[in-house]
Structures are given as C-alpha cells and as structure tokens.
Amino acid sequence: MEIANEKKIAGLVQFLRKGRTMTGRFRLPMLEEQAYEYLLAAYIMEVQLRYRRFIYNGFVEEQLKQVANCLTANTAKFGIVLCGGCGNGKTTMLKALQNLVRRLKILKPNLPPNTGHSSDNYYSFTIVNAMQIVQFRKTDYNKLCKLAEADMLGIDDIGTELAEVQDYGNFMYPIKELLAMQYDAQLFTVFTTNLEPKEIRQRYGDRIADRLNEMTTKVVYRNPTYRTENALWEKYKILVLHWNDLTKQPEIIEAVKRVEDRKEQEAEAKREVQARQDRYEGILDRFISEGHEQLQAFSLSSRIDFYEKETKAIYYGIMATATKSNIALRSPQGAKFAVERFLASMDWNGCGNYRRECVAHWTKLFATDEVVYTEPIIQNFLSFIDYMSCSADTYVSLGGSNGCADLLTNWDGTQKDGLGALPSKKWHGLVR
C-alpha cells in the first residue's frame, strides 16, 4: 500500500527530526572475520588469566562467530543475550568483550568535529551482576539510573536474582526496570543467563521478553560445563598412556601400515585420474591449436582450396572445441556454435580484414555443409582422445596422417579406423 503524498510526508518527517539525533549502534570497526580473531584472542586471554587451559572446540568456534557477526552486522539490534547452562563460558565471553572494547579505544558516533581525546569520547563497557542490581535498587536508586546511562552495559547472570523485592511494603522489579530503561535508551547491552529463552519469558513476562527479542540477538550455549575440565584432563592423560601402549603392539603396527598403504594407493589413484584429465584437456587443446595453425597458414596464402592436412586439422579442431565447450555437434545449430567458438579463439595476425571475413565464412560453410558429425564419428573421436590420454608418451602429431592419428588398436591387437578419413562430401575449396 502506497503512502498518499509520500514526498510531503517525507518533508514533514525531516521537519520533526530537527534537533533530534538517532542513537548510534555500537559496532566494531572491522570486518566479521577480523572481529572473530580479536574475540578469540581476548577469550583465550581471559581463560589464561584464571590459570585454566583453553579448549578450542566447535562450540567455542560457533559462539565466537555468532558474537562477531552481532558486533559487525548492519542491523537494528543493539544487544546480545548469551544463554545456556552453567560454567560453559558465557561470563568469560562477557569479560573478553569488555577488555576488547577497552583496548581498541573506539570513538563514539555523532561526535562534533575536532573532538579531543577525552576518555568520555570512547566507548566504555560496564559489567554488573544481576544480584548487584537488586541491591542498588534497594539502597541507591541513582546508581541504578547511572547504570542505565552506560555506553555499553553487561549484566551477568540474570535469573539468579530475586525477581521482586519489597521495600516498605512496595514491590519492586529491579531487572525489569533496568531492561525497560535500556530498551528506551537503545544503548548496547549484553546479558548472560542460565535460563532458556522460554524461561526468560516465564520469569519476566511477555512485555520484557518481546523487548529483548527486538533489541538483542540470542547466542545459545549448548556445550557442557568447563568446570570439570581438570578431572577430564586427568582421564585424558590416562587414556593417552593406554593408547601409547596399544600402538606398540605388533598387530596394531601392521594394521596401521596397511591403512597407510591403502591411503597412499588411493592418493596415487586420485593423482593419476587428475593427471589423465589434464592430459585429456591438453590433447584437446593441441587439436584446437593445430587447427588454428593450419587455418592461419591458409588465410595467409593466396589459395582458394584447403590441402588435405588443413581439412583434417580444421575438422578435428572444431570437434575438440565442441568437446571442451560441451556443444552437441549432431545438430546444424550445434555445429554453427562450435565453429564460431573455434574461430573466436583464432589468432588472425597478419591476415587482412577482407581475407579474414572470407576465410571465416568459408570455414563456417565447411563445418556446416561439407562435413557431417554423426554419433559414431563423435564417439570414435572421444575414444581416440581417451586412448591418447592414457599415457603422456602416446601423443603423436594430431593433424597429420600417421599411424596414431589414422588408426586405433583394439585390445586384441587388431586395428580399427581412427581419425584419418574424413566423413564428408568432396571439398570443393573456397569457390563454390
């Protein structure tokens, strides 16, 4: 549905916006891939500062990628919810982000020109625990309001606090109040919680849950806790010792050798397939090249007729072009496409424009009127190429009339017709 007087309405919007500025969305000043690298480094550092061993796995990779995307994507959202079980790295991610923002010194948007280097001009990241927010609400409401004005706010462990508190008979809902203020101010906020998304709605109600959906991107942590890491590490070391003992057994050594031999055989087979494909393409290219050479030689002469060698080379050059370009030669249209592709890659150096046009036209007549491309001929050509590609030593001149080009050898030693004789009407030259 179109807006009536759309131009007039747009003007009114601009009038009403005077004196008001849009809240800038916090974004890392880098591409998503670089943000991922910075976050990974900051995450590792936080783990090391706790004298723990960093474990890189698919869960960590996916979490870091999602957060990096949230921090660099062009979106209207201005927050992140890190949700999942206990001890799986949510708070570590929160602290890593805080340190990264501090070290990068990112300027706030919409600053006046020639702004100085005051710390107030850079983003800062404040982290507070959900239970502290409840305490602020009871003892110092101004602190709670000040938190709501933070450039970037991290709230750790929402859901662990009392949902409501009573003060002189009045019921208060600190987290709900702060979330509402963050939503209204549109300031970047990161939450961590052990609650599932549906549990957030149950605890804080539809209004807050809907606002969280609008303002944040959810990153769900599905990995198990890292707090059992030390016990698992000891078990791992024991398993390594058992494995080392096992690998010294003669049966295991022999089995490993057979596997390695099989892998090497498979790799060699793949290399041979690729080498054969390369030879196949190379032979086609040589057909095309020889066809070009013969046609160019003819174009630079004053003759009006092809030699037999030229006829063969051009014929096979067109067939090779069709094979490489996956063009069906059996139809007149296919033959036309093939010869046009063949001529397009020609080097006409030294040939005048008039002679070039004539030779090109006559070549098209030759390819479409004077010769035929039947299924047996095409299959014989492909068989020949396949035969030639079996070994790098099988190549002999393609355009000439010789044993390799004219004859193929069957498995039993008998010979069959190769590519020597052209299936065509008699070629009458360029004068028709």
Q: What integer pLDDT is reported at residue 151 of this predicted model? A: 84
Instruction: Report pLDDT for 427.
Output: 45
Q: Which of 61-99 are b and which e, b meaning 16 or more Cβ less than 10 Å from the residue's Cβ? A: eebbbbbbebbbeeeeebbbbbbbeebbbbbbbbbbbbb
Q: Would 239 be classed as within a structural domain? A: no
Residue 17 resides in a domain: no
Q: Residue 310: CB partners within 8 Å, gap ≥ 6?
A: 294, 295, 297, 298
Check whether residue 29 and residue 77 sit in a common domain.
Answer: yes
For residue 82, what are the β-bridge partners?
192, 219
- pLDDT at position 150 is 86
Residues 314 and 216 in one domain: no
Q: Are residues 35 and 111 in the same domain?
A: yes
Q: Does 331 fall in a domain?
A: yes
- DSSP class of residue 371 equals B
Within-domain flag for 15? no
Digit-by-digit pLDDT tens for the chain (432 residues) are 456 677 777 777 676 666 666 666 788 889 999 999 999 999 999 988 888 888 888 888 999 999 999 999 888 888 999 988 887 888 999 999 999 999 988 888 777 666 666 777 888 899 998 888 888 888 888 888 888 888 889 999 888 887 777 666 677 788 888 888 888 888 899 999 988 888 888 888 888 888 888 888 899 888 777 766 555 665 666 677 667 777 777 877 888 888 888 999 999 989 988 988 889 898 999 999 999 999 998 988 888 888 888 888 998 999 999 898 888 888 888 888 989 999 998 888 888 888 888 888 888 888 888 888 888 888 888 888 888 887 655 444 544 433 334 433 333 334 444 444 455 544 444 433
Picking from 379, 391, 390, 375, the residue whose alpha carbon sits closest to that of residue 416 is: 379
Give the residue from 194, 105, 176, 187 showing the smallest Cα distance to 154.
Answer: 187
Cα 425 from chain centre: 54
Residue 401's pLDDT is 38
User: Which residue range(s) make up the domain with 35?
Assistant: 23-230
Domain of 211: which CATH number? 3.40.50.300
- The reply to whether 63 falls in a domain is yes
Query: Within this chain, do residues 267 and 133 fall inside the same structural domain, yes or no?
Result: no
- Which pLDDT score, from 0 to 100, does residue 422 have? 56
* HSE-CB for 267 with a 13 A CA cutoff: 6
Task: Please report whether residue 246 resides in a domain.
Answer: no
Maximal C-alpha separation, the chain: 113
The total number of structural domains in the chain stands at 2
Average pLDDT, the chain: 80
99-102: Cβ within 8 A, 24+ apart: 99/42, 99/45, 99/46, 100/38, 100/39, 100/42, 101/125, 101/152
Tell me, yes or no, whether 225 and 282 share the same domain.
Answer: no
Clarify whether residues 293 and 156 are in a common domain: no
Q: What share of the chain is helix, strand, coil (3-state, %, to 5)?
A: 55, 10, 30
Is 156 in the same domain as 283?
no
Q: Which residues contact 186 (CB under 8 A, 6 or more apart)?
A: 23, 78, 215
Q: Is 19 left (phi over 0), alpha (psi -120 to 50) or beta?
A: left
> Cα dihedral sign for 310, 311, 314, 320?
negative
Under 8 Å between Cβ of 97 and 67: yes
pLDDT number for residue 229: 56
pLDDT digits (tens, 9 = 90+) for 73-101: 888 888 999 988 887 888 999 999 999 99
Q: Are residues 380 and 265 in the same domain?
A: yes
- Phi then psi for residue 65, to 5 deg, are -65, -40
Question: Do residues 204 and 280 share a domain?
Answer: no
In a domain, 93, yes or no: yes
First to last CA, the chain: 67
Q: In what order do the strands lie in the sheet with 79-84?
A: 125-129, 152-158, 188-193, 79-84, 217-221
2 is a domain residue = no
Statement to judge: residues 207 and 330 lie in one domain: no
pLDDT value of position 66: 93
**Alpha helix locations (H) across 326-397?**
332-344, 353-365, 375-389
- Say yes or no: 149 and 51 in one domain: yes
Q: Are residues 79 and 138 in the same domain?
A: yes
Whether 88 contacts 47, CB under 8 Å: no
Last residue of a domain, one of 209, 230, 251: 230
